[in-house]
Structure 1
Amino acid sequence: MVFELKACRRTATALVLAGSVVVGCDRAVEPAAPPAPGPAPAPSPTLDRAAILTAIDAAASDAAAGVARAGPDPLVGRSFSLRVAFGCFGPEGVPPVGAANSEGRPRWAISDDGRAIRLTLSPSDWTDGDVSGPAPEGLETLSGVWINQPWMRSEACPAWSIREADAPAVPPPARVAALVMVRPTGASRVGRAGDQTFTHTVRAEGEAPVARPAQGYRLVLEGRLVGWADERVIRCRVVSPDRPPACVVGAAVDRIAFEDGAAGAVLSEWRPG
């Protein structure tokens, strides 16, 4: 009996050293289960270009499938900072100063004397409706800005170029994604279509011609997302089974800016007030 007790103690000691807990001499207790994982990290408070386009993709897929989401839209009230690169492949003609550019997309052009570059944006007036359908009631104005290359998540100009001789003879894709600046009665007038054309002039230094941008420019739109009449932030419309749905994002914009595409320096900005 003494021999068996000593053997039991030696076995218990060996098991303790091996990391097991011994009860009696013949039953080991399993280690405690690891603690449950904590809650998932909260999403970034500000949605960027990639996040907005991901949400548009999901809404477009639902529209194409005829699916209607139930429940509150988690995008309502979320802050956003959307960047649209433009002029990546060279200058484009812009209207003369004082003329309206209602295309809803930014452009830049070099002056006739080669001494200045003018950036311009005038939001489209979609008060009577947009690519996603008729305008909802109860809104004073709807001002649209197209999101270029919605299949590209990067905020910068593409790192490639296509020689004109190599470009296939295919028509450009239809524009299918836009941000609509919603202005209820009495809200901020920043970005209101027909009220303001946003322009900035980059001037040459010394006697040399103005330097062309190495990586184009960026338009910045910031604010918070708002729901339409159905309380969804993104509206989509199917125009053909062979084309992606056209979608627009409702937004209350409180900052518009032009940035240098290479360094990200702010060139000009506009805020309410």
Structure 2
Amino acid sequence: MLALVSATADAFASGRTSPAEVAQLAGHPFSFALPFGCLGPLIETDATRTGWRYDADRGALRLQVASTRWAPQDWFGAESSVGVEAIEGFWMTRPWTSSETCPATKAPTAASEPATPAGKTLAIAQLFREGGARQERRDGEPYVAVVRSAPEALRAGSGFRVRLTGQLTDLPGGGAIRCRQPGGPDQRPTCLVGATFDEIAIENIATGEILARWAGGSGVGE
């Protein structure tokens, strides 16, 4: 999937048509795992960020995964987004690697060299129609779980990951991948993968244990 997204971004930036495989992705199952909390706990509770905190006094592990809500026009423009009320999903961390664990390098190797932020270049999301059911929508609210855990069983040093499972769906205009360059031709294309989420789960990377799970909503595309 990552290779196909890269090929689609290349085609978009070069003015070519998307790879033929993009039009054949709808209905294919997927499972993506996005590591988080790799650098340790959040300094303070922040409802807008993805991360974790541990309250040793209560033996409570708080996990939160930020969801993102986009206006349909952000990705498709006014004409092609008619009938779509909202787009909700996740920015994919470190889309240049297929690894499902935290990176081996946890700090810059040379403090004197300026860091170049990777930015947000790949998202996976589902579309909701106007007039459709709203109970499955997050409206930008994070997924939050509080899990009881003894300190010796926490094993948070390897971080956590959110696992997304479901099926790929076509986006307005056709194809399951859409790219754009709002900053112009010198900007790396930003791409969206259309999906229907069956389940969103949080896993402990060190143990593989599922700590929390939510049933996904019903996304739609055309």
Q: What TM-score, normalized to structure 1?
A: 0.67
Show the counterpart of 2:30.
80
Matches within 5 A, 1:114-263: 115-130=59-74, 132-134=75-77, 136-162=81-107, 166=111, 168-184=113-129, 185-186=131-132, 189-190=135-136, 192-194=137-139, 197-205=142-150, 211=154, 213-238=156-181, 239-263=183-207
Aligned partners of 1:169, 1:70: CA distance in 2, in Å? 36
Code of the residue aligned with 2:40 in structure 1: it is G
Quick check: 2:200–2:213 contact (8 Å CA) kept in 1? Answer: yes
Misfit runs of 4+, over 6 Å = none
Code of the residue aligned with 1:216 in structure 2: it is G
Per-residue deviation, 1:217? 0.3
For residues 78-115 of structure 1, the C-alpha deviation after alignment (integer angstroms, 9 at most, x for no partner) is 1111110111121224646xxx52x6xx3222348584
- Identity in percent: 32
Quick check: 1:120–1:197 contact (8 Å CA) kept in 2? Answer: yes
Aligned partners of 2:110, 2:27: CA distance in 1, in Å? 47
For residues 30-78 of structure 1, the C-alpha deviation after alignment (integer angstroms, 9 at most, x for no partner) is xxxxxxxxxxxxxxxxxxxxxx211211111111111123867011121
Contiguous gaps of at least 5 residues in structure 2 = 218-222
Higher relative contact order (CA closer than 8 Å, sequence separation 6+): 2
Structure 1 93/128 Cα, relative in aligned 2: closer, same or farther at 3 Å? Answer: farther
More strand by share: 2
Secondary structure, in 3 states, of the residue corresponding to 1:59? helix
Quick check: 1:83–1:219 contact (8 Å CA) kept in 2? Answer: yes
Aligned partners of 1:263, 1:199: CA distance in 2, in Å? 20
RMSD of aligned alpha carbons? 2.9
Q: What TM-score, normalized to structure 2?
A: 0.81
